[in-house]
Structure 1
Amino acid sequence: AMYWAEKVAAQKDDPELAAQFAELAKALAASEKTILTELAEVQGVAVDIHGYYHPDMGRVEEVMRPSPTLNAIIDG
């Protein structure tokens, strides 16, 4: 996400879009180590999503978004 945001911020075709993504790229770069640590901490850990064919979607979302730092940046 960080590299993608940096590339969109660097493009010259749409200055407004570039400005929006510059902020995102800056926030992601500033939090890179924290985000990577949060993601690494959950690797290889089995999780229960409360079902196979019909899992608990709230639990699935929680498991699929393991970095509170990244979530805050993306949701912000």
Structure 2
Amino acid sequence: MDRRARLWLEMSRSYHQKKDSLAALQTLQRATDISEESMRCHPLSRGIAGELVARGGRLVERDARSLATRLGLIV
């Protein structure tokens, strides 16, 4: 996995743990832009994306669904 993508993924995890859905989504999108194939295969990225779709709120729902689709999740 690309180091930059891993950094953005870890930042997304941090924001997700703090319940900052918008920041978690934006950083996960950045990680996916850098290395989409790695993010599609990584359980953490898929887990965060799924959580954002389910519990992210109205502000992030549409973009979270789009990202989840990019990561191969069925939403």
The structure whose residues are more often helix, as a share, is: 2
Q: TM-score, normalised by structure 2?
A: 0.35
